[in-house]
A = this chain, B = another copy of it.
Amino acid sequence: MTRKDVLVQKDLLGTNKEVAAEIRKELRGRGILCVNLLSSPGSGKTALLEGLADRLKGRFRMAVIEGDIETERDAERIRARGVPAWQITTGGACHLEAKMVGKVLPGVPAAIDFLFIENVGNLVCPAGYDLGESLRCVLLSSPEGDDKPAKYPQAFATADVLILTKADLIPYLPFDPAGAAREALAINPRLRVFRVSALRGEGMDGLAAFFAEALAAERAARA
């Protein structure tokens, strides 16, 4: 069977967990670091990917799978940065599932370094669905408030990385970034925490460097 056939079969037969495990094995085997981005609507997932595209280009090849309920808007924004992007429109569903990623995967070029998956904007439901990623990042934007980790714990409990976004707005807000990080770390002490403004560039070089290191670590673990 071809890889596509295997994925299609898993799509029909497997549970989400099984399909996700197959995707992870496949992507790790190809030396691709897969990153799943989770957050509320409008926390800045697409802007973060635009900023990473600008910083990784030339050195790394990336591709993006965009999840949305409706519209191709986010994929168009990513393509405008010269990065291949696939839009999954769920048509009402509140999260991506591994089988949806599995359907897109055969079309994604084999020779890439990073596959970023932008989940449907929803801080609740996507946390329950493994997509086969090696790294899960949860974004929390400063206007959402520093009280969100305890109110929406699963996204923070299951993530590897917390990215505090829209740092440029902090001067205008009642938002305590250290408090937000503390609350998230109380739920999940192994979280790596970053603070960025994709709009102004603050912290974005450091985040791009972190992903480059994570890619190198994943490839070294495989060797």
Q: A102-126: which residues lie under 8 A (CB-CB) from chain B?
A: 120-125
- A16 lies within 8 A of chain B by Cβ: no
Q: Are B153 and A123 in contact (CB under 8 A)?
A: no
Contact B40 A151 (CB under 8 A): no
Q: Which listed residue, B73, B92, B150, touches A71 by the CB 8 Å rule?
A: B150
Interface residues of A in 122-142 (CB under 8 A from B): 122-125, 141
Q: Which residue, of A69, A124, A150, A199, has the highest number of chain B Cβ atoms within 10 A?
A: A124
Interface size, A (range): 20 to 34
Decide yes or no whether A168 CB sits under 8 A from chain B: yes
CB neighbours (8 Å) of A123 from chain B are: 40-41, 121-122
Per the bound structure, the CA–CA distance linking A211 and B178 in Å amounts to 38
Is A169 touching B143 in the complex (CB atoms < 8 A)?
Answer: yes
With a cutoff of 8 Å between Cβ atoms, the chain B residues found around residue A71 in the complex are 147, 150-151
Q: Do residues A121 and B70 form an inter-chain contact, with CB atoms below 8 A?
A: no
Query: Given A69-B153, A70-B150, A143-B166, does the pair A94, B125 have CB atoms closer than 8 Å?
Result: yes
Could you list 26 examples of A-B contacts with CB < 8 Å? A40-B123, A41-B144, A41-B148, A41-B151, A42-B143, A69-B151, A69-B154, A70-B150, A71-B147, A71-B151, A92-B154, A94-B94, A94-B122, A94-B124, A94-B125, A121-B123, A121-B148, A121-B151, A122-B125, A141-B143, A143-B143, A143-B169, A168-B172, A169-B169, A169-B173, A172-B172
Extra contacts besides A94-B94, A122-B122 (13): CB < 8 Å: A40-B40, A40-B123, A41-B152, A42-B143, A68-B151, A69-B124, A70-B150, A94-B124, A121-B152, A125-B125, A143-B169, A169-B169, A169-B173
